[in-house]
């Protein structure tokens, strides 16, 4: 799977105003994140994909096991 925020897997976000959309696009441009921004005044803002692109989850680590 490709990394979130790339051309093949853009971040998809939802905002309520065109002004907020411009702010989000500027932030994405600063961090080289490809994004698709939808302006939907009747929906709640959702920036989850951008947050995940800026702070990707680290690798899953298991507990170290003692060797006998």
Q: Which two tokens stand for residue 21?
A: 């959309």
Predicted structure pTM score: 0.78
**pLDDT at residue number 28:** 96
**pLDDT at residue number 56:** 81
Q: How far apart are CA 54 and CA 9, in angstroms?
A: 14
With a cut of 70, list the residues of the chain below it in pLDDT.
Answer: 1, 64-68
Nearest to 36, CA basis, from 59, 61, 53? 53
Q: How many CA atoms lie within 13 A of 60 on its CB side?
A: 1
Nearest to 14, CA basis, from 41, 33, 32? 41
């Amino acid at each position: 799977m490709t990394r979130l925020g790339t051309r093949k897997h853009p971040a998809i976000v939802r905002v309520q105003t065109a002004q907020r959309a411009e702010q989000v696009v500027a932030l994405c441009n600063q961090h080289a994140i490809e994004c698709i921004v939808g302006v939907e005044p009747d929906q709640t803002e959702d920036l989850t994909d951008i947050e995940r692109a800026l702070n990707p989850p680290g690798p899953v680590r298991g507990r170290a096991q003692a060797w006998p």
